[in-house]
A = this chain, B = another copy of it.
Amino acid sequence: MGIKGIAKLANVSIGTVDRVLHNRPGVSKETEEKVLKIIKETGYTRNTYASRLKLASLRKLKIAVLIPEAKHNWNYWKLPKKGITKAINELSELGVVVDNFLFIDSNTFKNLANKIIEEDYDAIVTVPFFEKESNVLLQKANLKEIPLVFIDTKLELESPANFIRQDSHKAGMVAARLLHGLVGNEGQYFVVNMLNDRGIHANNKQRESGFREYFKKRKTEVPIKTINYSMNNEFTVTQEMKEWFNFKGPKGVFVTNSKSHLLPEIFDKYDVTNTSIVGFDVNKSNLKYLKKEKINFLIHQQPRYQGYAAIKGLFNFLAKGEKSDLNIDIPIEIVVKENVPEIG
């Protein structure tokens, strides 16, 4: 049953039914009620595809994507982009168009965000790396009623916002359980934060807090040390690390970012043994050591799917009014040598 059937039952024209369906002005209370009653009775729902077929010819849905430029250390960002590309392929027939804006730092982020707000996009996907700038963008988007989805990281912002990302605190707890299973109560634990030029990332902090919470919740207390290591400088062994390296018992190492692959090399060089490593992200370097069993577990954030889901979710909201796809807790996927997922 379509709009035509409703119109017939209600003794009105299809134009009037359309007006009622979209709450457009110019319908008398009386006919509106009559039409609504029949819509309810018949359980009519609008055919999104027919709707888009018509609307796409009039005006495309434009989505702006504002994410980090993918290069050198930031190779990771190729993955959400692939997911975005996949979504575009599926949605282009429905009149969806995506423009990519790539930022390098907080300044380029701010400028591109402003540009996006000025041109009128129907929706925005971005990443909340810079708290202040993200808040500004969110406010502006809210004012213009442009739906906005943040991927990758959750941040407390000044207004409610949509997030498609993994719960990093929970992921830290998962990592703790995995490491604890291997290392036990007699071991020593090390949280390794690799700092890049932007300092420590919100995700990493949340992962560490989750890691520590896992142990706090249990009776047995184990020593957990945090090592902050700047990736910008040449690697040097500090006094703290020496003590760690010399401990002969089981050592559990939790690397809070995607660089866990750096540790096996260091451990080899300094003859550190009896280590178990849990890290994040299924990248080439990490996989290499996972396959060699130098890294025990990796946690996968499904970056490709995050990008895909953001675009699809925004489309579902714009075309069907479905708000539920705008907030997704990406599952915490545990990866071992035998269940490496396809990434590319």
Interface set of A (CB-CB < 8 Å, partner B): 45, 47-50, 52-53, 93-94, 170-171, 173-174, 177-178, 181-182, 214, 296, 331-334, 336-339, 341
Given A49-B53, A53-B53, A296-B181, verify A174-B93 contact (CB < 8 Å).
no
Nearest CB on B from A280, distance (A): 14
Copies in the assembly, this chain = 2
Given A182-B181, A296-B181, verify A214-B338 contact (CB < 8 Å).
yes
Inter-chain contact B93/A338, CB cutoff 8 Å: no
Residue from B45, B49, B214, B338 in contact with A170 in the complex, judged by beta carbons closer than 8 Å: B338
Which chain B residue lies CB-closest to A341? Answer: B331
Inter-chain contact B336/A178, CB cutoff 8 Å: yes
Residues of B within 8 A of A332 (CB): 338-339
Residues of B within 8 A of A47 (CB): 53, 93
Residues of B within 8 A of A341 (CB): 331
Nearest CB on B from A54, distance (A): 10
Inter-chain contact A177/B336, CB cutoff 8 Å: yes
Which chain B residue lies CB-closest to A181? Answer: B182
Inter-chain contact A336/B338, CB cutoff 8 Å: no
Nearest CB on B from A22, distance (A): 18
Which chain B residue lies CB-closest to A45? Answer: B93
Main secondary structure of the interface of A (DSSP, over half): helix
Residues of B within 8 A of A93 (CB): 45, 47-49
Residue from B94, B333, B337 in contact with A331 in the complex, judged by beta carbons closer than 8 Å: B333
Inter-chain contact A338/B173, CB cutoff 8 Å: yes
Residues of B within 8 A of A52 (CB): 49
Residue from B94, B171, B337 in contact with A49 in the complex, judged by beta carbons closer than 8 Å: B94
CA A333 to CA B332, docked complex, whole Å:
9
CA A231 to CA B155, docked complex, whole Å:
50
Offer 8 A-B interface pairs, CB within 8 angstroms, sorted by A.
Answer: A49-B49, A49-B93, A174-B336, A174-B338, A178-B336, A182-B182, A331-B339, A333-B333
Residues of B within 8 A of A177 (CB): 336-338
CA A53 to CA B171, docked complex, whole Å:
44
Residues of B within 8 A of A338 (CB): 170, 173-174, 177, 214, 332
CA A93 to CA B48, docked complex, whole Å:
8
Residue from B45, B94, B182, B334 in contact with A336 in the complex, judged by beta carbons closer than 8 Å: B334
CA A339 to CA B338, docked complex, whole Å:
19
CA A110 to CA B296, docked complex, whole Å:
46
CA A164 to CA B231, docked complex, whole Å:
43
Which chain B residue lies CB-closest to A46? Answer: B93
CA A339 to CA B167, docked complex, whole Å:
10
CA A47 to CA B50, docked complex, whole Å:
12
Residues of B within 8 A of A173 (CB): 338
